[in-house]
Chain A
Amino acid sequence: MVVRRTHLYDFHRQHAKMVEFAGFDMPLWFKGIIPEHMAVRSRVGIFDITHMGRVLITGAKSEAFLNYVITNDVSVLAPLSAQYSVMCNENGGIKDDFIVSRLEPEKFLMVYNAANREKDFEWLVQNAGAFGVKVEDVSDSVAMFAVQGPSAQRALQKVADSDLGKVERFKCGFTKLAGCEGFVSRTGYTGEDGFEVFVWDTPVDKPDKAVKVWNAILDAGKEFGVEPCGLGARDTLRLEAGMCLYGNDIDETITPLEAGLGFVVKFKKASFIGKAALEKLKAEGIKKKRVGLRMLEKGPSPRPKQEVWKDSVRIGYVSSGTFSPLLQCGVAQAYVGVEHAVEGATVIVKVRDKALKAEVCKFPLYDPAKYGYMRQK
């Protein structure tokens, strides 16, 4: 398979250590995961996330279609509002997680994981027939960046025509960005305040608009200490924030109830794919649950698939793990038996030949009064 490139490939190749991810040649880091991570937690960072999948769903029954195929309820979305959701298979296993935005009463934008682009599009098209809605993949004509961090609004405002102060969290709006037709959504994958920025009508072979907006944001952000950031920092930031990575923390064998995503499952809806299985699981009670772990002693960092133990009994496994640049220790997301999902409990993570103590934590793993979008200013 040919490795794909984004509009910013020349910039990335010049400035970043590259990595192949979901079929794209993407920046892993520019200066380094640690300085990029810290820039987003304390100032502002910009990520190229053009590799993600984007579809437009239009038609009179687009609301009914989405409410059938996803677990959350889009009927509560006013135009220019966004929500986080998942869609499940008939067993209640997660097909993907994503953000859906209502652009117009009968037009929605869905942004999902790069690794699931083909799978998701096929699933949507397959289920759209009965509703007569149009599912259009616009991934290849749109560039997408995330501008994240406590200074994100001030940096991005310098290149945006509209007043970004009026775009609240999980709201969105059309605006010109450095003179180009754009769209911003106050969402992200870092735990920080910030925006996801869309530049329309810029296919990869005509990258001018995308490059112009990227450079304009970097320029505007200079006075705030902006850093271009790669997938490395994107992963450590989302892990600290407690957000799931598809393929690690969630997949088709995990339900949203086990993943701690019950808040996006709206059982009061008449029907949606996976409802029966999820209702049954809810009635019976889940057996495992996703929790945060923070290592209590110095040593290696937890990594995916390592075992979690308590009192000589295996109670679960690590789904994502890393060294936390902010907390300066190993952190993880793990699935453990529900009876062990107790905040403050001490468990053991088996890292190669070592048994290391960790504390069960709620998300986010950092102090939300000091970091993240809820920080006290």
Chain B
Amino acid sequence: MARTLAMFTDTSLCIGCRACQVACKQWNELGLEVPAWTGGYQNQNHFTDKTFRLVRFIEEPGGKPNGDLAWLLMSDVCKHCAQAGCLDACPTGAIYRTEFGTVNINQDVCNGCRYCVSSCPFGVVAFNESTGTAKKCTFCNDRIHNGLGPACAKACPTESIQFGFRDELVAKATKRVEALKGMGFKQAQLYGHDTGGFLGGLNAFFLLLSKPATYNLPDNPKLPQRNVVVDSLLSIGSALAVGLGVLLAFRDRGKGDGHHDA
């Protein structure tokens, strides 16, 4: 495996221009969709089969260091989890991990069972009715294999979205969060940078200015498949109980040896 690539989205630098969202749409030819009225500048409430990058506009009362209303901006994207629920759920092998550590859906293999849609802890993967397949951010798979960064990172005018080797970006992000704290942003924190943390770390990780819940991100997302063994054992227990019940009902009590008569 090549060195792991990552995207680091520093929300403190985002100005909400949505160049990333547009660049993503254009490069990936995602097409038109009916705009969503969200009560603000945000267009689309959440990721769709045609929106892989989404700038979120969030108002947080008292969120600023001086107690004023904070207007938080965040360019959100598929997290390319190191332990990816969608990938584990996929029964066709259409969802795969690239040599760069990103997670991609092979559109020629996906048959649209939609288990990945229900298995993403962030609600990223979306079903496309016209192709009948699951869609999500590809980390611009075609671009990174040709020496270009993802379209969103390329388009970002403030370097809020940075692309590079994961270890280098984490080092940079750690310094940045300390600097922000020194400036009075007490809640500044990294989300998903730690490979020892939830989901083995996110290959698209974030610097947030408030707690994750403010951004509608789960505090501690978990791999959906973590209970397969327990749930299966409980089912086996149920099978034994039911099997025994049926067996006791049908057991041939007329014959002493319990064997079938011909």
Are A and B bound to each other? no
